[in-house]
Structure 1
């Protein structure tokens, strides 16, 4: 059913049938997150704590990717999770979370898809100006477009990036275009985000060329290799990045590229690598970031359900990362 945001956003391919008693029946995520429909009151919805946005695009991926299937798989996975986080003694049902649906995509025209993402991001940030926005990708090219939409909605706000990633994502746009290998360079060269306001945690191994490192240095991009982050501690590394960003920007965009994880923990990513983060390390990093008052937008990208194994460990982990982010938001009032 179309919502008041149509045609900027369309209904998700899959939605759960909600019980009359809703959350009270089982405390499951699929009975808690409410879909936006034509019956939703635009003014009441503005009070939502969290807005979920599906961005099903992966035709712009350098490697073969079915990451466009993640928003659907993500929603289907909700039934396997409760709203209660026993580690933090937090029940997410205290938050109002709305599923705004998906950004419409063109079958063949990637540029139009990217324009649609920018427009959808802009309207989401305009209408839900006080809500936390969670974009569910899609490949990493969506991040540049989501940030550009945020910039259009709030041009006076300086934006910073906290990136969990195995890669710089600073490839030359001349050679690669707006692909999943270029989002950070795209933002730098478009003047939307300064390189000095980008912080990348998780680089490791043999998966970046030296010229990308040299470009990062030229632009003042801040990066902490996974080895250095482990020596200092993942939460401590994240906190250090956030402290520096806080002094420079108004809003921090958290982007989680699932290829930051070791292939043993996340087989369902297009560019899986050995030597990456463990599940626990990423969860700790995301929770630390989510507690910060300026981290008000996030995305999860490059998760390919079609490459996942039968029990879908990567889809489950991506859903866990999303709920961990919301846990951090819920904890803010008690910190």
Structure 2
């Protein structure tokens, strides 16, 4: 393990990494007993650039929080920047969440991958290396963005870890397909899943992608045609309702059954702006984070196939009353404690 840790330090460009400061994880303290602990008391900060760094054994559950402090893809895509501060925004909202992990579970904060000199590709590469490293040490990565360009780096890290014969299914709660062609600025926050599709084609593997919450008024006809050409089934926002609960559950379960592993990603702009105003592309309508939504999320989590997770597009610049950050924290709490 120590050799792997040393190699990771040598692989990640130090200009694209920042450890989490000690004063970030602070909050209410009701005592040290397991029953009254909060996240700020339980989380262990790891500096991946420290000499002779090593990760503790993952225990019966290992969670590795990784920040992706980058919104260069959003800038290239013409969106509202500010999501690069999403990881800090999320940590602040999560400090006082109660611990419902077992005593043997280990919860790490591996710091942030940052984007320097608008070099999004190097940031994505560093994220991929960190994700693969966490997985190789028995931890389930939980990545907080940042723009949804997080998806390409995150997926690449998972792909680099799993066995060649294993398949990765992607479930993306999102208002957008993110199947755009690169524009004059190159790849961006809207191209990630098309990049993954093309990588799958090059690798001779199926592209397994299920977007949930797609809005017709947020995607051009070209994007719907692209999804059709790639044989991508999707669940539209207008069809995401309790009256279709059984149909949606079956669609989710059938998709999961066909995959060895599930990469779960949630873009905060999938929700109505009344619940998540702090995003790069707000929409007046969208999914509601109610009991039905969480039951669908639970269907994915209960499969036992989720290998890695992320939350994207948490933008503090436009967040009102910390609503988006608090919702992201609530999502993370459920995803870590299914």
Same fold (TM over 0.5): yes
Alpha carbons 2:264, 2:306 under 8 Å: kept = yes
The 2-side partners of 1:176 and 1:299 are apart by: 25
Q: CA deviation at 1:65?
A: 1.9
Matched, 1:42 2:58: no
Instruction: Identify the residue that residue 158 of structure 2 maps to in structure 1.
Output: 150
Change (3 A) 1:239 1:54: farther
Matched position secondary structure for 2:157? helix
Residue 318 (structure 1) aligned to one of 328, 332, 336: 328
Change (3 A) 1:109 1:324: same
Instruction: Identify the residue that residue 188 of structure 1 maps to in structure 2.
Output: 197
Residue 136 (structure 1) aligned to one of 132, 144, 150: 144
Per-residue deviation, residues 229-273 of structure 1 (Å, max 9, x unmatched): 3155457525522333322x2110001001000011111111111
Residue 79 (structure 1) aligned to one of 90, 95, 112: 95
Residue 257 (structure 1) aligned to one of 263, 267, 274: 267
| 1:165-244 superposed matches below 5 A | 165-173=174-182, 175=184, 177-191=186-200, 196-230=207-241, 232-233=243-244, 237-244=248-255
Q: CA deviation at 1:127?
A: 2.7
Q: Which moved more, 1:22-31 or 1:275-284?
A: 22-31
Change (3 A) 1:82 1:234: farther
For this pair of structures, how many residues does the alignment match? 315
Q: Which moved more, 1:142-151 or 1:104-113?
A: 104-113
Change (3 A) 1:58 1:276: same
Instruction: Identify the residue that residue 99 of structure 1 maps to in structure 2.
Output: 109
Change (3 A) 1:127 1:227: same
Matched position secondary structure for 1:103? strand
Q: CA deviation at 1:123?
A: 2.2
Per-residue deviation, residues 40-98 of structure 1 (Å, max 9, x unmatched): 97363344521111111111112022111111111112233222xxxxxxx23443211
Change (3 A) 1:44 1:196: closer
Residue 70 (structure 1) aligned to one of 69, 78, 86: 86
Change (3 A) 1:218 1:262: same
When normalised by structure 1's length, the TM-score is 0.84
Instruction: Identify the residue that residue 73 of structure 2 maps to in structure 1.
Output: 60
Matched position secondary structure for 2:283? coil
The 1-side partners of 2:302 and 2:179 are apart by: 28
Per-residue deviation, residues 138-169 of structure 1 (Å, max 9, x unmatched): 11111111111111122422111001010110
Change (3 A) 1:194 1:183: farther
Q: Which moved more, 1:66-75 or 1:233-242?
A: 233-242
Matched position secondary structure for 2:226? helix
The 2-side partners of 1:319 and 1:272 are apart by: 19
The 2-side partners of 1:12 and 1:235 are apart by: 42
Per-residue deviation, residues 111-147 of structure 1 (Å, max 9, x unmatched): 222222222222222233xx22111111111111111
Matched, 1:271 2:281: yes
Change (3 A) 1:226 1:302: same
Question: Which runs of 5 or more structure 2 residues have no equivalent in the other structure?
Answer: none
Matched position secondary structure for 1:252? strand
Change (3 A) 1:39 1:119: closer
Question: Which runs of 5 or more structure 1 residues have no equivalent in the other structure?
Answer: 84-90, 329-335
The 1-side partners of 2:238 and 2:26 are apart by: 45
The 1-side partners of 2:250 and 2:337 are apart by: 17
The 2-side partners of 1:23 and 1:108 are apart by: 45
Q: Which moved more, 1:19-28 or 1:148-157?
A: 19-28
